[in-house]
Structure 1
Amino acid sequence: MKTSVSVVCYRYKVLANGESPLMLRISKEGRRTMKSLGVSVDPKFWNFDTNQPKPNCPNRALIRQIVLKYETEYNGKILTKEINEEEFTPQTIVAEQKERIKVQTVEEVYKTIIAELKERGSVGTAYAYLNSYNVLKSFNRDKPLNFTFSRIDADYLERFEEWMRARGNKDTSMSFQMRTLRAVFNRAIKSKAVAREKNPFADYKISRFNTRTPKRALSKADVMKIVDADCTAESDFCRLAQNVFTFSYLCGGISFVDVANLTPDNIIDGRLSYNRQKTHGAIHVPLSERAMRIVDSYAEACERSGYLFPILDSRRHTTPMQKRNRVHKVCHQVNTELRRLACKLNISGVVTTYVARHSFATVLKKSGVNIGIISEALGHHSLKTTQIYLGAFENSQIDAAMQNLL
């Protein structure tokens, strides 16, 4: 049966203005669907035999133009389906209508995302998008990104990659930039700022980048040099660096930002229980006697600041921005002290708080601990996966495993 397309005045519905809506009607094999055109007309000005406005209809020329436009468009869609021998129904023809695009520039979308992230306190993520924006702006010769997302095609991404490589960027950095840009593009698609079929990441594969990083773990012997070093005559920052490194190593490779945010509430029944700042996953690890001694050494400062370690102060660092800036500053200072300490102890390689995280996993692995507890992912792929694995085991299993650290 031939598919019919027509525009009708749906007189059974009367709008607030006293008129009835014009509807696109598609019929095929006894099935029918209707779609409002967003236009209405008084039924007395409509010829229901010809489905056209009467000669005395106000705006008759405009209405006839709208009717012709929709009938032509949908007859064309149906003809294409029939030529290609594709199955279709009236409903699927209507559903295939292209999304309405609300034109927004790349500049506008980036700034909207950054502002929203800052407003809800996701300062670190906001900075990641700000960094992405600034790099893309540099690629655009420091001009505002006042163009639409349709300009960012696979060829554009290839040129962006070449530009970053020419400036000495490593694959890990380029992968980060491309993944962030892809997230912004997906946001633009969702907000109808660009059509879905314009997405260049269907052709440009981010998997081309080698994001595997060299192992940054120390041997158990080198770790113990730091843990057992006598820093009593050193500066407060040197002692803090040693204590943070040791505490991280002994407490499941806890990251610096998580150490900074610990409060007395995170110690429950002799265990360290906290939610990761990065993934929000719940972590529960035993607090060894040595780790507890480190916490106790800052007890007096904790009473004043509200935090276990003298990094943040609840009286001074109250906003997400203040906390982020403080953590970033102290982390840099701590890492500087760790490098100095490592040099004095004849430890080769760059030592940072992050090395304690890798060392925790590597030492346990070499001690024969169940790979499911520590996970290869800690040093190679996804740190989030490691935390998921740790959370899946009984406390007793984790406790037994961590006896191998010292």
Structure 2
Amino acid sequence: MATARIILDKRSKKQDGTFPVKIRVAHVKAFQRLGTSLSLTEAEFIKLMAGKNLKDEQKEDKRKLDALLLKANGIIDSLEPFDFHTFNTRFSQKGDRSDLIFLLNDKASDFEKDEKYGSRNLYNQAAAMLTEYINRNRTEKSGKITSLIISTVTPKWLTDFEKWALKVTYQKKSKGSKETTTELKYSRTTLGMYLIRVRAIFNEVISRKELSAAAYPFHKADNKAGYKIPQGVNNKRALSMPEIMSIYNYEPQNQTEFFAKDMFIFSYLASGINCIDMFRLRWLDLKKDHFTFIRKKTENKTGGTNKITISLTEDLLSIIERHGTRKLNNGYIFNVIPLNATEKEIKSKTAAAISAINQGLKKIAVKIGITEEISTYYARHSYSTNLMNNEAPLAFISKQLGHKDLKTTQNYLDSFTTDKAAEYQSNLLVKDQTG
């Protein structure tokens, strides 16, 4: 196994009588010396390594050397088999490439540069969640841990992390007494979203040969003992046809309800287009009897090949006529995204509009007797579920939803409505009704 240690390279003495301090990495019969920024006399080096009676400046030098040695040993521990090329690449990279927290935040920074703020947030939140876990039993006095060596994350570690994430016990004061309560901390869906990002980091570092494939902790075909990321419960968020029609026929009481209703119906009739894509629609996307768009969410994965075509029905044209903003001359059909907006501004304006629409939908739902707190997402799921219940081909539903494959659509459409299931069940036997 490779080893690393701090040495004083006495082969080349400088004019001031000091020698370069280096990290010596050895493997089998080969070794390399990696430079540091320090040069010391032999006496200074011996004193520094002993770590006793050091001045403030010497303490800082010792801290820097210890950090470099820790980094070197962390890389060595994660490389199996060891090779100098991969080691040197990782050792020279900024930050600790063996630190999972750093890698998650570093990936988030890459997404921010590309103005992909949704992905950035998920990686940052995953890092924050892991940081919270590794600091769960520490007090403020003992300091906060901000690093996690990637090679220490095993299937057992991930299983323990899941148990903590799904439940947390805390003390609650009530009239002078303390009550211990256990509550849900993160949903299985949220946990899964974050762990998918952790898995992506493992895939990247292993593909770059910065980590041994044997250290991969997640379940796969040739690693059945690996940790399985929890699947979120696919809560049914589809409205029945009578509920859809009650929204369609509702007479809005104010401008907020008016906009909320029309955006919901537009999404429902336009293949469940989500609001991000809906607000990005431009006048040039409109043709004589249809419009096309590409889902922003999957645009990079599909290379822009998953164009979705929507027929311009009378209802869709009416909504465009009511809310279209051609006079603003900013290119967008709906007045949500301003002219020349950056990706960050688009994200912010869209989020604000979605929040306002959801508030309006909740008020409408109460007035027409829909008990669920509906949101814009219900339009997409209602579209696909009602198509399925009308026995539309799965391939058509999949294409209109912008899914890459049928399996994604099958997971999305996890169940038929109770009425449709009962109808199918009733046809299992054909009995003679004539007596």
TM-score norm. by structure 1 comes to: 0.65
Aligned to 1:181: 198
- 1:182-218 superposed Cα distances (whole Å, 9 cap, x missing partner): 11222232344433221111433325x2434122111
- 1:17-36 superposed Cα distances (whole Å, 9 cap, x missing partner): xxxxxxxxxxxxxxxxxxxx
Aligned to 1:13: none
Pairing 1:69–2:90 present: no
* Distance (Å, rounded) in 2 between the aligned partners of 1:106 and 1:371: 40
1:372 deviation in Å? 2.8
Pairing 1:206–2:231 present: no
Bigger shift: 261-270 or 246-255?
261-270
* Distance (Å, rounded) in 2 between the aligned partners of 1:258 and 1:117: 19
Report the CA distance shift for 1:388/1:146 in structure 2 as closer, same or farther (over 3 A): closer
- Counting aligned pairs with the same residue, the percent is 22
**What is the number of residues matched between the two proteins?**
293
The one-letter amino acid of 1:265's match is L
Matching of residues 213-252 of structure 1 within 5 Å: 213-231=234-252, 233-234=253-254, 236-252=255-271
SS class of match (2:308): strand
Answer yes or no: is the 8 Å Cα contact 1:217–1:356 preserved in 2. Answer: yes
The one-letter amino acid of 1:313's match is P
- 1:11-57 superposed Cα distances (whole Å, 9 cap, x missing partner): xxxxxxxxxxxxxxxxxxxxxxxxxxxxxxxxxxxxxxxxxxxxxxx
- 1:353-392 superposed Cα distances (whole Å, 9 cap, x missing partner): 11011111122222332333225997xxx95446998xxx
Select which of 114, 118, 123 maps to 1:120. Answer: 114
Report the CA distance shift for 1:295/1:68 in structure 2 as closer, same or farther (over 3 A): closer
* Distance (Å, rounded) in 1 between the aligned partners of 2:296 and 2:332: 15
Select which of 331, 353, 373 maps to 1:306. Answer: 331
Bigger shift: 178-187 or 250-259?
178-187
Select which of 359, 371, 377 maps to 1:348. Answer: 371
Pairing 1:197–2:219 present: no
Report the CA distance shift for 1:377/1:267 in structure 2 as closer, same or farther (over 3 A): closer
SS class of match (1:348): coil
Answer yes or no: is the 8 Å Cα contact 2:217–2:227 preserved in 1. Answer: no
1:319 deviation in Å? 1.5
Matching of residues 5-404 of structure 1 within 5 Å: 69=29, 98-99=82-83, 100-101=86-87, 102=90, 104=97, 105-141=99-135, 143-167=144-168, 168=184, 169-201=186-218, 202=223, 203-206=225-228, 209-231=230-252, 233-234=253-254, 236-280=255-299, 281-300=306-325, 303-315=328-340, 318-375=341-398, 383-385=403-405
Report the CA distance shift for 1:97/1:369 in structure 2 as closer, same or farther (over 3 A): closer
Answer yes or no: is the 8 Å Cα contact 1:110–1:133 preserved in 2. Answer: yes
SS class of match (1:116): helix
Answer yes or no: is the 8 Å Cα contact 1:109–1:188 preserved in 2. Answer: no
Report the CA distance shift for 1:97/1:351 in structure 2 as closer, same or farther (over 3 A): closer
* Distance (Å, rounded) in 1 between the aligned partners of 2:257 and 2:357: 7
Report the CA distance shift for 1:156/1:272 in structure 2 as closer, same or farther (over 3 A): same
Which protein has the larger Cα radius of gyration, Structure 1 or Structure 2? 1
* Distance (Å, rounded) in 1 between the aligned partners of 2:28 and 2:312: 76
Answer yes or no: is the 8 Å Cα contact 1:175–1:206 preserved in 2. Answer: no
1:277 deviation in Å? 0.6
Answer yes or no: is the 8 Å Cα contact 2:105–2:123 preserved in 1. Answer: no
The one-letter amino acid of 2:290's match is R
1:68 deviation in Å? 7.5
- 1:141-166 superposed Cα distances (whole Å, 9 cap, x missing partner): 27353232112112211111011111
Answer yes or no: is the 8 Å Cα contact 2:158–2:227 preserved in 1. Answer: no
Report the CA distance shift for 1:257/1:185 in structure 2 as closer, same or farther (over 3 A): same
Q: What is the root-mean-square deviation in Å for CA atoms of aligned residues?
A: 3.0
The one-letter amino acid of 1:351's match is I
Report the CA distance shift for 1:141/1:177 in structure 2 as closer, same or farther (over 3 A): same
1:67 deviation in Å? 11
* Distance (Å, rounded) in 2 between the aligned partners of 1:371 and 1:116: 37
Report the CA distance shift for 1:144/1:319 in structure 2 as closer, same or farther (over 3 A): farther
